[in-house]
Structure 1
Amino acid sequence: MKGNIVYKILIVEDSSSIRDELVVLLENNLYEVVAVTDFANILKKVEEVSPDLILLDIILPNINGIDICREIRQKNDTPIIFVTSKATTESELNAILIGGDDYITKPYNAAVLLARITSVLKRYGKGKNNTSYICKGCKLNLLDSTISYNGQSTELTKNELRICYNLFSKCGQIVPREYIIEDLWDNEMFIDDNTLSVNITRIRGKLKDIGVEDLIKTKRGIGYKI
């Protein structure tokens, strides 16, 4: 969501269980979602829906997702992320060469998929642009690098702000340690695994100072969750 704009994602996935799972995941993250169920008229559906992004499987009934992507690219540059069980280098290379923007293999990690969606939307100038996030009574303000709770506020360092952004923007989800580290690295602030733990401890200390305890939960061997 950017301002009052809700971004629309079209799901082209023939497995009803995975399709339903994706719908719930995306709607819970404030996206408008349309799922294709008639695979004989996918291109027509794309034109009708005019989505901001498409999640596209490769193996579909009587048609190949690669061919669909190729035909879409003849008409527009709608972002396309392949979400498929075809975990081969050749398949991934073909998908990217014919115009795919990203390639994720099943079973996918929900947090990673959401991060990839955000990244692709940003690349096309359609990314989420919230300046604050509220989770479990705490407010993270990106503009002044603070967390506030019940009228009290504490300032965050640049690294602490980025870590909190990853957690608050995915409130209720487990965020992998590797994802947070990679995000900081991409922002030219590379940290190792131990440094992340130190930063989390400092954030918890600052939260305690404003009356908040046990907000950030550690999921051993996986990551963190608010």
Structure 2
Amino acid sequence: MKGTILLVEDEPGLAQSLNKEFQFEGYQVILAGDGEQAVDEFEKFQAEISLVLLDWMLPKLDGLGVLRRIRRISQVPVIMLTARDYAGDKVSGLKSGADDYVTKPFDIEELLARMEAVLRRARPSGGQEEYSLKGLTLNLKSREVIREGQIIQLTQREFLLLSEFMRRAGQVLTRDELLDAVWGADFDGQPNTVDVYVRLLRQKIDRNFSEKLLHTVRGVGYMLK
């Protein structure tokens, strides 16, 4: 089995179609038809759930509300499935903790590929398990990030981005290098995705501290030092 998916979708036809497709691909699926049920199911099966596919427009509690509830207790990967394709909506989803964003209607093969990519990057890699830099510590095994004694909550994508910066501290990393390392070589989204996530990451690891660690190298990329 590839993993357990919490599929949150209020359109019964689409939910059942995706359920059959995911089961055929080797996933176990937990279904939820509204936001409140999604939160209940996640709290009940949190230890088993590998990935959340979350519709934006839901009865009782919308997708952003569900996402925020999940992020209070877990950094499980979350992909938002929605017909809302405005740039501002995407930014809101990312800021609330989404790891990826797929706009309806979508191709099932693309969705499966994005799911596999997110799950692959969520698995701990081999080698060194902990990195430290000037009071900032990142543990790959426990997935904890701490700066000067304060626990910092990151989304899955933010954690992966910080991991890359920590592994290559002191090096200037271009946007293309970061896209390949964190999103994958087959990523076909907007190049400014890196800028959005760097800004979100900087707010969490630097904003409340006097010494800034994440720097912009104009015309090149970014560096953690």
TM-score for the superposition, normalised by structure 1: 0.53
Separation (CA, whole Å) in 1 of partners of 2:31 and 2:53: 10
CA 1:67–1:39: 2 relative to 1, 3 Å: closer
Shift of 1:29: 0.4
Shift of 1:38: 5.4
Equivalent residue letter for 2:99: D
Corresponding residue of 1:9:
5
1:139-158 alignment runs, 5 A limit: none
| Percent identical residues | 30
Shift of 1:21: 1.1
Corresponding residue of 1:44:
40
Three-state SS of the structure 2 residue aligned to 1:77 is coil
1:122 has 2:145 as partner:
no
Three-state SS of the structure 2 residue aligned to 1:45 is helix
Three-state SS of the structure 2 residue aligned to 1:99 is coil
Structure 2 segments unaligned to the other structure (5+ residues): 126-179, 187-225
TM-score for the superposition, normalised by structure 2: 0.53
Larger radius of gyration, structure 1 or 2? 1
CA 1:54–1:102: 2 relative to 1, 3 Å: same
Structure 1 segments of 4+ aligned residues over 4 angstroms from their partners: none
Structure 1 segments unaligned to the other structure (5+ residues): 128-181, 188-226
Q: Tell whether the 8 Å contact from 2:35 to 2:63 is kept in structure 1 after alignment.
A: no
1:186 has 2:185 as partner:
yes
Three-state SS of the structure 1 residue aligned to 2:81 is strand
1:31 has 2:27 as partner:
yes
1:32-181 alignment runs, 5 A limit: 32-37=28-33, 39-50=35-46, 51-125=49-123
Equivalent residue letter for 2:11: S
Separation (CA, whole Å) in 2 of partners of 1:55 and 1:43: 13
Separation (CA, whole Å) in 2 of partners of 1:39 and 1:73: 14
Shift of 1:42: 2.1
Shift of 1:28: 0.9
CA 1:126–1:58: 2 relative to 1, 3 Å: farther
Q: Tell whether the 8 Å contact from 2:9 to 2:34 is kept in structure 1 after alignment.
A: no
Separation (CA, whole Å) in 1 of partners of 2:6 and 2:76: 11
Separation (CA, whole Å) in 2 of partners of 1:10 and 1:77: 14
Q: 99-108 or 37-46: which moved more?
A: 37-46
Corresponding residue of 2:130:
none
Paired positions, count:
127
Corresponding residue of 1:160:
none
Equivalent residue letter for 1:36: A
Cα root mean square deviation, aligned = 2.1
Equivalent residue letter for 1:69: L
Three-state SS of the structure 2 residue aligned to 1:186 is coil
Shift of 1:41: 3.0
Three-state SS of the structure 1 residue aligned to 2:73 is coil
Separation (CA, whole Å) in 2 of partners of 1:102 and 1:9: 15
Shift of 1:39: 4.1
